[in-house]
Amino acid sequence: MLMNATSKISEKEVEHIANLARIELTEEEKRSFTEQFNTILEYFEIINDLDTEDVPPTSHVIDVTNAFREDQVSPSLAMEDVLKNASKKERGFFKAPKII
């Protein structure tokens, strides 16, 4: 474990977070979460110490490209075909119940 002498998050803060989330924690869970949160923060400190000067910013870990197809213009369905199976229709539109 990477715990150092000064913890970043206290059990009191874990209690506060649990209270905000409306979660009840036992004393053991509070201790466990406090250790886990502090370990996570220590890993962030290690990552912050890395030299990333020559590393370009990315939004994904791997190179991602969109798999979208090109738009192709094609004829639309006829209005009577679109409304053929509608349970309710009015003046060439689907009719839905009024929601207020």
Q: What is the pLDDT of residue 7?
A: 59
What's the Cα-to-Cα distance from 29 to each of 10, 12, 13, 50, 51, rounded to whole Å? 13, 12, 13, 32, 36
How far apart, in whole angstroms, are the C-alpha atoms of residue 78 and residue 8?
Answer: 65
Q: What is the pLDDT of residues 48-95, one digit of tens each?
A: 899 989 988 888 888 878 888 888 999 999 999 999 999 999 999 999
Domains of the chain (ranges, CATH numbers): 11-48 (1.10.20)
Q: What is the pLDDT of residue 57?
A: 86
Model-level pTM? Answer: 0.49
Q: What is the pLDDT of residues 29-54, one digit of tens each?
A: 999 999 999 999 999 999 889 998 99
Q: What is the pLDDT of residues 9-36, one digit of tens each?
A: 999 999 999 999 999 999 999 999 999 9
For residues 38 and 11, the answer to whether their CB atoms sit within 8 Å is no
Which residue would you say has higher pLDDT here, 92 or 6? 92
How far apart, in whole angstroms, are the C-alpha atoms of residue 82 and residue 94?
Answer: 9
How far apart, in whole angstroms, are the C-alpha atoms of residue 32 and residue 20?
Answer: 18
* Closest by Cα among 14, 36, 10 to 26: 14
